[in-house]
Amino acid sequence: MTPSHTYHVTNPATGETLESFPAATPEEVEAVLAAATEAFAEWKRTSLESRTRTALRISELFAERIDELARTISIEMGKPLSESEEEVEFASAIFAYYAEKAAELTADREIESYSGGRAVIEHLPIGPLLGIMPWNFPYYQVARFVAPNLILGNPIILKHAESCPRSALAIEQILHDAGVPVGVYTNIFATHEQVATMIADPRLRGISLTGSERAGAAVAEQAGAHLKKVVLELGGSDPYIVLDAEDVAAAADTAWETRVYNMGQACNSNKRIIVHEDIYDVFVQQLTVRAAGLRPGDPLALTSETYSPMSSRGAVRLLKEQVDDAVSKGARLHAGGETSGSSGFYYSPAVLTGVTPEMRAYSEELFGPVAVVYKCRSDEEAIRLANESQYGLGGAVFSVDTERAAAVASQLEVGMASVNTPAAEGPEMPFGGVKNSGYGRELGPLGMDEFVNKRLLYIAD
């Protein structure tokens, strides 16, 4: 049987398909599972110090290859080159963080025993894991899943997004060049049916997925049927509350830069901007100024007057449908919202107000560069608007009165609440949500606490 070419490199700036890769064969899927199982027996017995040294070398290789790696994803999914470089640096930092903290985060923990003897909680690997990764942060998303689990001793099978085959192969090459043994990390261009096959296989012990609600629900159902641990990081429609500001223009700058980062294609982007009525009009006007007059640009040479493409034609189509639906029902489009006449996947950054519950934009995630702004008259109304969502990933609150902002932030139904910053970010900061945004955590100390056998070792007197 000849495998179909389901993995493609399509340049979003031009719409040109540059390269295709065949999906894995059933024999390759079996070989990957067998190799991971065999490698687990050896990798879990490798010393923590050795696994840590390997992680440090991976960190170094990401840093050494930054130019090549950054250019790859700029061409592959349209990320501006400067942001691509930042992503590579972040991936490097994640591996370095877990290498530095490995001994501390995996240390045995003695607990009190009421019946004498000695009771210890051990942190042990559980076996081969499957990572199902998205296209919007091709290196960072992989790093935050792989780094802690590689150090723990869990082999990784990595199924990347169909639009990111070059970056998927680049990551695999880095890990192999760093000395990761065969079978401990394997990239596979699997189909959805093959993913289901792997989840059902008893040799696989856990799954981590970052993606859509639909994908998360399907994988969780499959994992549940086979009693597999699963971590899900799904969509988000994060509230971004601005209660007041000494400098409204500066506050609008921060909100705008946050919203259009990665062309708005981030799970924890500020998709619902809630602004107090005292500064609302000026805030919206300032956002509109920033959105107006932008033109399509080359991700490899972006300027302050240009914007990069979205990841795919389908992404542009969906976003346009959502915004058009809102406008047809009475919302106001202040600027942007235009598709390019060129062959690239461009959608001009937009400012949208007057969104109400009967519009799709009120409840759906807008995964693109649209700043939706709501007016609130009180802290209580801001909290109500913020929590009136099926999502619960992150949220931010801004005020010159830090205690007031913290009081509002404490009432957000989210997995990550930030005060006077768009989001707390860093390898040490746990990432994850509640409600339809998924469950489980990555990064920080919690990121090494998911796919672990927290085994009780009890030694009687």
Cα–Cα nearest to 131, from 173, 165, 159: 159
Exposure b/e, 378-404, CB count within 10 A at least 16 = b = ebeebbebbeebebbbbbbbbbeeeee
Positive or negative CA dihedral for 232, 178, 205, 46? negative
Which residues lie across from 459 on neighbouring strands? 118
Q: Alpha-carbon Rg of the chain, whole angstroms? A: 23
Task: Name the phi and psi angles at 7, rounded to 5.
Answer: -105, 125
Q: Of the residues 233, 365, 442, 450, which is catalytic? A: 233
Cα–Cα nearest to 252, from 278, 279, 232: 279
Q: Catalytic: 164?
A: no
Residue 307: both structure tokens together: 């914007």
Q: Which residues make Cβ contacts (< 8 Å) with residue 163, sequence separation at least 6?
A: 7, 8, 9, 10, 76, 77, 135, 311, 312
Q: Of the residues 83, 85, 164, 267, which is catalytic? A: 267
- Concatenating the DSSP letter of every residue in 321-379 gives HHHHHHHHTT-EEEE---B-SSSS--B--EEEE---TTSHHHHS---SSEEEEEEESSH
Q: Catalytic: 381?
A: no
3-state secondary structure 426-460: CCCCCECCEECCEECCECCHHHHCCCEEEEEEEEC
C-alpha to C-alpha distance for 225 and 217, rounded to whole angstroms: 12
Query: What distance, in Å, lies between the first and last C-alpha atoms of the chain?
Result: 62
Beta strands in 48-205 (DSSP E): 109-111, 118-125, 129-132, 156-159, 185-187
Residue type, 180: V
Q: How many C-beta neighbours within 10 Å does residue 214 have?
A: 10
Q: Are 230 and 206 in contact (CB under 8 A)?
A: yes
Place of tokens 């792997």: 198
Strand order in the sheet with 438-439: 185-187, 156-159, 129-132, 206-210, 229-233, 438-439
Q: Are 291 and 306 in contact (CB under 8 A)?
A: no
Residue 359: both structure tokens together: 């519009």
Active site residues: 233, 267
